[in-house]
Amino acid sequence: MLSHLYVLTDDQHYPHSSWVERIEQALIGGAALIQLREKKLTDQQLLPDALQIQALCRDYHVPLIINDRIQLARQIDADGVHLGKNDACLQQARACLGNKKIIGISCYRSIYQARRQQAQGADYVAFGRIFTSQTKPYAGHCPISVLRAAQQQLTIPVCAIGGITSRNVKSVLATGVELVATCNSVFNAPDPLQAANNFLRAGIIRS
């Protein structure tokens, strides 16, 4: 199974004015999917950046996923949304965005929840944190064995997230997951292009 690099933004380390440049570097480096994750601003405050990032992703033919914000995703015609346990439900997102948009769901370490979300129409499910994460240091741990079980029991793509770096990614790739998600290791890296390239050298394929 071939794995792709899924890069998330972070609202804690870099100003929004630098986001477009950092995302473009990740795209040049080989990111196959971008997630815009911002927890502090309102939709209207985030809108100008979101439109700019959406245009950039389209230039590179890479899907843009919006974390949580269903209405914003609809407003900018993003390619989909990613939902966690405290966000809106899958049915609400599907009703708002339609059947052609990507909807990803965080399942943490629950295969049961992943099967349930698959049955309800999720396009991919995410498990994590796999390793110690600087972005979410207090998130619960998800063993590598859960990724293997998910690959065996699910038919939709599986995403691994949490503390994954180019140095430890090979154990994740060995499970066959389709998506490897990272925030700190690429978006927050001093050189996002080089950081993304490091993942490619470790075995991730270019988009």
Catalytic entry in 106, 133, 166, 185: 106
Catalytic, 40? Answer: no
Q: What is the 3-state secondary structure (H, E, C) of the chain?
A: CCCEEEEECCCCCCCHHHHHHHHHHHHHHCCCEEEECCCCCCHHHHHHHHHHHHHHHHHCCCCEEEECCHHHHHHHCCCEEEECCCCCCHHHHHHHHCCCCEEEEEEECCHHHHHHHHHCCCCEEEECCCCCCCCCCCCCCCCHHHHHHHHHHCCCCEEEECCCCCCCHHHHHCCCCCEEEECCCCCCCCCHHHHHHHHHHCCCECC
Catalytic entry in 37, 69, 94, 101: 37
Catalytic entry in 74, 115, 136, 148: 136
Catalytic, 106? Answer: yes
Catalytic, 100? Answer: no
Active site residues: 37, 106, 136
